[in-house]
Amino acid sequence: MPLIDYTREEGEFQWVEGGSGPVLVLLHGLMGGLSNFEVVFDHFREKGFRVVLPSLPLYSMPVLNTNIKNVSKYLHRFLKHLQLSQVTLIGNSLGGHVALVFARKYPEMVRAMVLTGSSGLYENAMGESFPRRGDYEYIKKKTKEVFYDPEVATKELVDEVFSIVNDRNKVIRTLAMSKSAIRHNMSSELTHIALPVCLIWGRNDTVTPPAVADKFLELLPDAELNWIEQCGHAAMMERPDEFIELTADFIRRRIEPSV
């Protein structure tokens, strides 16, 4: 079934949920959406996990409150609403950054993390001329550059990004969130995050390059690093089978050996 069939909405929260068992919380990135994790969601909900995918309020918060810390607080309210704790956070790009901030502030609620192409240390934006509203070919080019295989950037995905950069309210919040991510560098905080972390990185990531993954590995006390060859910034989209295999292996070894 498509993700929309698993969509729920209560109060300020909208999310996708399926399956039962140990809880995995999937966190999408700034220019990404729930569909980025569709293959991962389907796999783990069928393999004995309760998989929860919240829609992060990246475009609905007041501009002055649009920052990483407030998204982390939103995640805290959301998990409290669902009465969830001891979850495994799986985040891509900005979603990984939110996971790190959350784990630093609420370590008692997190069992482990899986980060792929996470911000938090250093990332490349779409360039100084971003967003160049109205220039579809430019947005198409920059979207394709996120992936090693440009064909992963389907017309639907390009159209989605194009609609964001042509929505004034979304552009303002996108830029506010991007600046917040740059300001909230986690270098001095990572050594205090002692829970198990699985880093899954595309060898050809140009947004958060391989050196970023190496630095995460160096600073996080209990981290392991797995490379996916011929893969860019969003491994769960571009190489979902490898991403799932690495995530499942990490979960079996470090979190849920019986699943």
201 SS3 class: strand
84 SS3 class: coil
pLDDT range class, residue 126, cuts 50, 70, 90: very low
The string of pLDDT tens digits covering residues 183-207 is: 999 999 999 999 999 999 999 999 9
Contact between residue 66 and residue 173 where contact means Cβ atoms under 8 Å apart: yes
Backbone angles phi, psi at 21, to 5 degrees: 130, -160
Report how far residue 119's alpha carbon sits from residue 91's, in angstroms, rounded to the nearest whole number.
10
pTM score, two decimals? 0.94
Structural domains in the chain, sorted by start: 3-123+185-254 (3.40.50.1820)
The string of pLDDT tens digits covering residues 75-99 is: 999 999 999 999 999 999 999 999 9
The pLDDT score that the predictor gives to residue 133 is 62
pLDDT above 90 (res 3): no
pLDDT, mean of residues 22-30: 95
Report how far residue 49's alpha carbon sits from residue 235's, in angstroms, rounded to the nearest whole number.
21
Residue with tokens 């969830």: 84
pLDDT above 80 (res 131): no
Sign of CA dihedral 109, 239, 131, 124: positive
